Amino acid sequence: MPRTTRFALAAGVALGLAAAVVPAAPIALITPAAPAAPAATVAPAAPGTPATATLAAAATRTRAGESATAVVKNAAGRALGTVRIERYDAKKSRVSVSMRGLTPGFHGFHVHAVGVCDARSVDRATGSAFSSAGSHLGPGAHGDGAGDMPPLLAAEDGTAFASFVTDRFTLERLGDANGSAFVVHAGPDNFAHIPDRYFHRPDSTGATGPDATTRKTGDAGARIGCGVVKLHA
């Protein structure tokens, strides 16, 4: 296995574990075999805050009309799952993911900047569908971008569940003029986090370090699923 791939997996494991420690909130499309914890329990406890107070606060954070959904489909039009986005507080969003039919392992998972999932639009970088969704939601270089999220970890049965809170985008941002889309990639995401010791030789431009593909997409590869964000009134 190439060093960079090995590193990418290690990075993905760390991030995946961070995402996996939080139980997935129930989503209508797929019910996890293990009973999912109520959504309120995924709220991280603030230091020194009694657990009961945190639960009560979390329960009131999501008000009607403060959520969005994206149904993610593959290039053949088959639904892979659902992403639910809720307002967590003024600056944060809670993202709950439920997928099936993925190849086992880690998958790069990003918000892309355009709310169009056209399976016929070919992504020139990878040859895959959904070029229409544009690049990652910015601003920020890959790894620090608004649209960067913990990768999905698909189990041997192809299911993936995740729930996390991010302050990198709000519902307003997802619903901006050109919308946005949640995209699942074929491979793991290294977040362009390549240590200096892996620097490659200078390329044609004289640049060293991670190449353009790594810096832009974290080498997550083909876009295998895409779901347009729909805000709920």
Positions that interact with Cu ion (CB under 5 A): 110, 183
Nearest CB to Cu ion, comparing residues 183 and 194: 183
CB of 85 vs Cu ion, minimal distance in Å: 16
Give backbone dihedrals phi and psi of 55, rounded to 5 degrees, phi first: -65, -45
Say how far apart CA 11 and CA 9 lie, in whole Å.
Answer: 5
Nearest CB to Cu ion, comparing residues 63 and 124: 124
Determine if the peptide bond prior to 195 is cis (ω within 30°).
Answer: no
Say how far apart CA 227 and CA 134 lie, in whole Å.
Answer: 13
CB of 171 vs Cu ion, minimal distance in Å: 20
CB of 108 vs Cu ion, minimal distance in Å: 6
Nearest CB to Cu ion, comparing residues 87 and 110: 110
Say how far apart CA 148 and CA 160 lie, in whole Å.
Answer: 17
Q: In the structure encoding, which two tokens stand for residue 178, read together? A: 């050109």
CB of 208 vs Cu ion, minimal distance in Å: 25
Residue nearest to Cu ion (CB): 110
Amino acid at 184: V
CB of 136 vs Cu ion, minimal distance in Å: 6
Are 51 and 70 a contacting pair, CB within 8 Å?
no
Sign of the alpha-carbon dihedral angle for 56, 57, 63, 69: negative
Sign of the alpha-carbon dihedral angle for 55, 174, 153, 82: positive
Nearest CB to Cu ion, comparing residues 84 and 110: 110
- Locate tokens 């390329």: which residue? 203
Nearest CB to Cu ion, comparing residues 94 and 142: 142
Nearest CB to Cu ion, comparing residues 144 and 157: 144
Q: Which residues pair with 227 in a beta bridge?
A: 182
CB of 187 vs Cu ion, minimal distance in Å: 11
82: nearest Cα among 184, 219, 201, 167: 184
